[in-house]
Homo-oligomer: A and B are copies of this chain.
Amino acid sequence: MEKFNALYAQSGGVTAVINASACGVIQTARAHSDKIGKVYAARNGIIGALTEDLIDTSLESDAAIAALRYTPAGAFGSCRHKLGAIEKHRKQYERLVEVFSAHQIRYFFYNGGGDSQDTAHKVSLISKELGYPITCIGIPKTVDNDLPFTDNSPGFGSVAKYVGVSIREAGLDVASMALTSTKVFIMEVMGRHAGWIAAAGGLAAEQENQSPHIIIFPEIPLDTQQFLAKVKDCVTKHGFCSIVVSEGAKNADGNFISDQGLVDAFGHKQLGGVAPVIAKLIKENLGYKYHWALADYLQRAARHIASKTDVEQAYAVGKAAVEFALAGKNAVMPIIVRDKGATYSWSIGEAPLEKVANVEVKMPRDYISADGFHITQACRDYLLPLIQGEDYPPYHLGLPQYVQLKNLPVDKKLTTTFDIAC
């Protein structure tokens, strides 16, 4: 049997565990070196594929590849770039065929969220539309936890754990200071359209008096008066009030509470800084001294406090992607399936790429408490398994010893360049 090469790429916002998926892909491919040739990585996602900017992962040691399992962010570079529709941007697809063909690539693994699975789906059309035999498998990843079909999205569990740990710790801090200093603490977390990450903060509050007391979800437009009444009630009852707010929080007329006026390459508004707006609202109406934090990239890069469950699942979907390809599957994405039963267990299933692309799963309403400011037991039951276990990276001289790959380029075989915007 002739062996063909594989191309792996990372896309969209990176996570603490996307490299664990890369590790799963590469280790599994190496274990099947009788069937798969080299694993190339596209530098910066699909852009590297279009521009023939490929990395030869076969030049990395087994130890370096193993270290990907505990190294956060995207070891090969990621991108925010979608392929155009094949009807209008046929040149992009023809270029991919040129690159695939030049490097004997017949397997394509694309690791990303909803937008990226759209790209993976489009690449999978190449076989039929252009007649080049490419096996295309998507690998799920997103801290937003908004992918359909899968029980959860690899990357999310680790952010969830970070947010739960952080708001528990900060809550103890504020409780200590509340008598003569800070009475209100606000932590802003990611989640543009869905409140999954904010919800995870709620896990830290095992009792009513514990941090966080209030969660502001993007799914529930903020009722200012109800919110201020609840803040006041918390400070009166507990001496302080701890709040988690989603970056995507909206006011009563449906607009983002904070909007920097920037859009990213996918056309999404870039948000940031709802926490200070909430702080100002509280200060002006209730007079409480406040502090606020905006974790931003710290939360999704926080491999030092990753969820062991999340790491294992991220690895498993990478491994499954290669196994799927070898089993002759195509245009699918491995998913996490929550098994039935009282204790949490999971297995790998699959979903068709065309149904995964561009779907955003929001929080079910029954995961949010009736007053809109906290999570329900159903939500807790869903979330809690995802943050279980610690998976500490190795440390050297006091800091995590993450791997820096050599990322040596594959010699170009094409003589042409390519404008990715065409």
The chain A residues found within 8 Å of chain B, CB to CB, are 10, 13-14, 16, 44, 47, 71-75, 77-81, 161, 164-166, 168-170, 172-182, 185, 187, 203-204, 259-262, 264-266, 268, 270-273, 276-277, 279-280, 289, 291-298, 300-305, 307, 384, 387-390, 392, 395, 397-400, 402
User: Are A297 and B170 interface neighbours, CB within 8 A?
Assistant: yes
Compute how far the CA of A9 lies from the CA of B369 in the bound complex, rounded to whole angstroms: 39
User: Taking CB as reference atom, which chain B residue is nearest A401?
Assistant: B168
User: Taking CB as reference atom, which chain B residue is nearest A181?
Assistant: B80
Compute how far the CA of A280 lies from the CA of B304 in the bound complex, rounded to whole angstroms: 30
Residues of B within 8 A of A400 (CB): 165, 168-169
User: Are B293 and A179 interface neighbours, CB within 8 A?
Assistant: no
Would you list the 6 A-B pairs with minimal beta carbon distance, nearest first?
A74-B176, A271-B276, A73-B172, A387-B398, A293-B296, A169-B301
Give the shortest distance, in Å, between A22 (CB) and chain B (any CB).
11
Give the shortest distance, in Å, between A385 (CB) and chain B (any CB).
8
Give the shortest distance, in Å, between A161 (CB) and chain B (any CB).
6
Q: A296-B293, A301-B172, A392-B392 are in contact. Are A179 and B266 (CB under 8 A)?
A: no
Q: A169-B400, A176-B14, A280-B271 are in contact. Are A262 and B289 (CB under 8 A)?
A: yes
Which residue of the partner chain, among B73, B296, B397, contacts A292 with CB atoms under 8 Å? Answer: B296
User: Are A78 and B176 interface neighbours, CB within 8 A?
Assistant: yes
Compute how far the CA of A270 lies from the CA of B402 in the bound complex, rounded to whole angstroms: 35
Compute how far the CA of A399 lies from the CA of B388 in the bound complex, rounded to whole angstroms: 8
Give the shortest distance, in Å, between A67 (CB) and chain B (any CB).
13
Which residue of the partner chain, among B170, B180, B203, contacts A399 with CB atoms under 8 Å? Answer: B203
Residues of B within 8 A of A272 (CB): 276, 279, 291-292
User: Are B174 and A297 interface neighbours, CB within 8 A?
Assistant: yes
Identical subunits present: 2
User: Taking CB as reference atom, which chain B residue is nearest A293?
Assistant: B296
Compute how far the CA of A77 lies from the CA of B297 in the bound complex, rounded to whole angstroms: 31
User: Are A398 and B389 interface neighbours, CB within 8 A?
Assistant: yes
Compute how far the CA of A77 lies from the CA of B176 in the bound complex, rounded to whole angstroms: 4
Give the shortest distance, in Å, between A419 (CB) and chain B (any CB).
14
Q: A47-B179, A169-B304, A398-B307 are in contact. Are A293 and B289 (CB under 8 A)?
A: no
Give the shortest distance, in Å, between A187 (CB) and chain B (any CB).
7
Which residue of the partner chain, among B166, B175, B387, contacts A298 with CB atoms under 8 Å? Answer: B166
Q: A47-B179, A259-B266 are in contact. Are A295 and B297 (CB under 8 A)?
A: no
User: Are B304 and A293 interface neighbours, CB within 8 A?
Assistant: no
Compute how far the CA of A80 lies from the CA of B273 in the bound complex, rounded to whole angstroms: 28
Q: A293-B297, A295-B293, A298-B187 are in contact. Are A177 and B13 (CB under 8 A)?
A: yes
User: Taking CB as reference atom, which chain B residue is nearest A14?
Assistant: B176
User: Are B266 and A164 interface neighbours, CB within 8 A?
Assistant: no
Compute how far the CA of A104 lies from the CA of B5 in the bound complex, rounded to whole angstroms: 80
Give the shortest distance, in Å, between A342 (CB) and chain B (any CB).
15
Which residue of the partner chain, among B164, B293, B398, contacts A398 with CB atoms under 8 Å? Answer: B164
Residues of B within 8 A of A44 (CB): 179-180
Compute how far the CA of A72 lies from the CA of B168 in the bound complex, rounded to whole angstroms: 10
Which residue of the partner chain, among B180, B277, B392, contacts A390 with CB atoms under 8 Å? Answer: B392
Residues of B within 8 A of A13 (CB): 177
